[in-house]
Structure 1
Amino acid sequence: MTATIYDVAREAKVSMATVSRVVNDNPNVKEATRAKVKEVIERLQYTPNAVARGLASKKTTTIGIVLPDISDLASAETVSGIESVANMYKYNVILANSCNDKDIERDIFNSFMSKQVDGIIYLGHSMTESTRNYLEGINIPLVLSSNIDIDDRYYSININYEKAGYDATKEFLEKGVKRVSLVISSYESQKAQRIISGYKKALNEFKLDFDSSLIIDGYKTYKESSDAYKKVKMNKVEAVITMFDEVALSILHQAQDMGVDVPKKLEILSFENTKLLDMARPKITSIFQPIFDIGAVSMRTLTKVIDIEKAKSKGEEYEETEISALQSEGKKLYLPHRIIHRQTTK
């Protein structure tokens, strides 16, 4: 059985805090006590974990990541970016899959609290008001990655979805396409709202009326999108922009099954830019999102927020200049995007 900090403290007849001080090389331990604790650690083959080290330092060097769906390709790439920076700064990472369930999500936050994580990175497509209020109550540094905060309570790392929605729509309108459809997850999604805002801006610039029937909602995965093309066809759509790559792939397959020539009769552009788009035939045009970089910047931002919160708690001076250098709107940090032309657009 693996030895714990409790076993070491009991065997050495000292407190767990004393064991933790020895582990952290704290000088405020008598040499005789330090030698006794080290002897027990060696004899029991105790390996201190991050939480044990944190008992004395008040820092566990552990961060928690909340994932909405662990099988999601974009989330997996974001986590890779997070871990690359976490390793650089010697942070351990705990991954937790919420399955898009708010009750599971709350249990995850409680678990993170019990593990004394230094900070949390929240991935996901949207955050409910109840979740936001709960997070404010637990007082742990938090950064949103590929997620949007509506009132700048937290730092968030994304591309500028409004500008990307505008760029994607303008791309088609400049070629004379009149009926451009957006396929989104839901109107409640902050990402979707911003994409729609950019879409409307492009239509207005080209003096075209907004047609709400061209906004098709309720689609996020390949399976969910089995009837998406029927709605596209019903609305006589010439070009479709999807929030998610799985939806773009599903519409492409449905169109091909109906004998539709893509891109001659229907053009498709997607927003995520995961590896699925290069696997498709024809390859799907997309908005390039630097997904790995979004994860990396999220983790670096979290380390800065942790340092700032630590300084605040000690009454020390602090500045947010390094974080604000990336700011575009308050605490919303935007990374650059661009359109990658592949084979589903003319």
Structure 2
Amino acid sequence: MLKNQNPKITIYDVASEADVSLATVSRVLNYPEKVKPETRERVLDAINRLGYRPNAIARGLASRKSTTVALIVPDTSRASVAEMINGVADIARKYDYSVLLKVTNSEEDTEREVWQEVLASQVDGILYLNDEITDENIKQVESAMVPVVLCNTKDDLNRAPSVSIDFEESFYRATKTFVEKGKKDILLVSTRRAYSVNAMKERGFTRAMDEAGLEPKIIRTSGRISVNYDYFTDYLNENKPEAAIVVRDSIAVSFINAASNLGINVPEELEVLGFQNTKASKMSRPTLSSIDNPIYDIGAVSMRLLTKLMNEEAIDDTNVVLPHNIVWRNSTK
């Protein structure tokens, strides 16, 4: 029995008092047998001294039958994120899982707070989407104390389970296609922010251009239309590439609009290829050719992989690479 229970004391206070992570406190509350005896005793002593009283949900976790999975994403406004959530939700529904959605807005401080909230919620597993996987992100994954799967992204060193396509290979093959069509002045349009997935795409592009003995031209701009449209207009006033491969469909549409308003005919004078094959690719004029990233399948397979990890099932490969293809539309010949 806890002495002097104080409802104002939180799990954060317990973690600080015991000098352990939130995940460790959660594990002591729910899976004490998996915590080292000395650490477990330190946490229990802190709980008793502070009079910490877990909420009703936390008290029932040890005996509950339901499973809760957290889905951490940077932004819900992206069409690709929405499609991935659909894939996750459909599989979660089959297993009767509850899904806790958390949005980080790609801000470092916010993301750290979101991870703390998720771990304090004592979820059974985490699905994590972030275009930029850093060493700090991997530390968060490794210290989570519950299974974590990277969705539609990956760590270059395969330090965490993941489900994605081969980003480097997709851009390598796309670039090779333009080279084989006789294009020599090929441009890669990437982002100013150094997302790790875009670095992989740039590597694939550069490799294909180097193999062909061509100069790999890369420009980087903002994902915001209010910024990149003017940048593209200035660039195309001075440069006339034969083809452009763009790291995101929405940016590719902005690139096409800038070219069209300058009187550059797409695709006769300039061919444009996007990435993701989102709704934006079908709504642009001309319609946008795009590397099809099977985002719904990525969400569904990620949820299946996380389920296996939570159930401690045997898994042949924790880094799943799904196939991709190119959907050709009217922005290319």
TM-score band by shorter chain is: 0.7 to 0.9
Contact 2:233/2:262, CA 8 A, preserved across alignment: no
- In the alignment, which residue of structure 2 is the partner of 1:224? 227
Matches within 5 A, 1:320-339: 320-321=315-316, 324=317, 331-339=318-326
Secondary structure of 2:287 counterpart: coil
CA distance in 2, matches of 1:232, 1:127: 32
Equivalent position to 1:101, from 107, 131, 144: 107
Secondary structure of 2:311 counterpart: helix
TM-score normalised by the chain length of structure 2: 0.78
Secondary structure of 2:282 counterpart: helix
- 1:202 deviates by 1.9
- 1:199 deviates by 1.4
CA distance in 2, matches of 1:191, 1:204: 20
Equivalent position to 1:115, from 107, 113, 121: 121
Q: Any unmatched runs of 5+ in structure 2?
A: 1-55
- 1:53 deviates by 4.5
Matches within 5 A, 1:148-163: 148-163=154-169
Secondary structure of 1:182 counterpart: strand
Secondary structure of 1:241 counterpart: strand
- In the alignment, which residue of structure 2 is the partner of 1:205? 211
TM-score normalised by the chain length of structure 1: 0.75
- In the alignment, which residue of structure 2 is the partner of 1:135? 141
- In the alignment, which residue of structure 2 is the partner of 1:243? 247
CA distance in 1, matches of 2:236, 2:177: 19
Secondary structure of 2:143 counterpart: helix
Q: Any unmatched runs of 5+ in structure 1?
A: 1-48, 309-317, 325-330
Secondary structure of 1:281 counterpart: coil
- 1:77 deviates by 0.4
Alignment: residue pair count: 278
- In the alignment, which residue of structure 1 is the partner of 2:62? 55
1:213-249, CA deviations, whole angstroms, 9 ceiling, x for partnerless residues? x111233243331212432553431111111111001
Between 186-195 and 255-264, report the one with greater CA deviation.
Answer: 186-195
Contact 1:183/1:216, CA 8 A, preserved across alignment: yes
- In the alignment, which residue of structure 1 is the partner of 2:98? 92
- 1:255 deviates by 1.0
Residue 319 (str. 1) matches residue 314 (str. 2): yes
Between 109-118 and 180-189, report the one with greater CA deviation.
Answer: 180-189
Task: Tell me which structure has the larger Cα radius of gyration.
Answer: 1
- In the alignment, which residue of structure 2 is the partner of 1:171? 177
- In the alignment, which residue of structure 2 is the partner of 1:195? 201
- The AA in structure 2 aligned to 1:210 is E
- In the alignment, which residue of structure 1 is the partner of 2:14? none
Secondary structure of 2:276 counterpart: coil
CA distance in 1, matches of 2:204, 2:89: 32
- 1:128 deviates by 2.5
- 1:50 deviates by 6.7
Contact 2:138/2:160, CA 8 A, preserved across alignment: no
- The AA in structure 1 aligned to 2:61 is G
- Shift in alpha-carbon separation, 1:170–1:229, aligned structure 2, 3 A: farther
Between 87-96 and 331-340, report the one with greater CA deviation.
Answer: 331-340
Contact 1:155/1:332, CA 8 A, preserved across alignment: yes
- In the alignment, which residue of structure 2 is the partner of 1:43? none
Equivalent position to 1:81, from 82, 87, 110: 87
Secondary structure of 2:310 counterpart: helix
- In the alignment, which residue of structure 1 is the partner of 2:282? 278
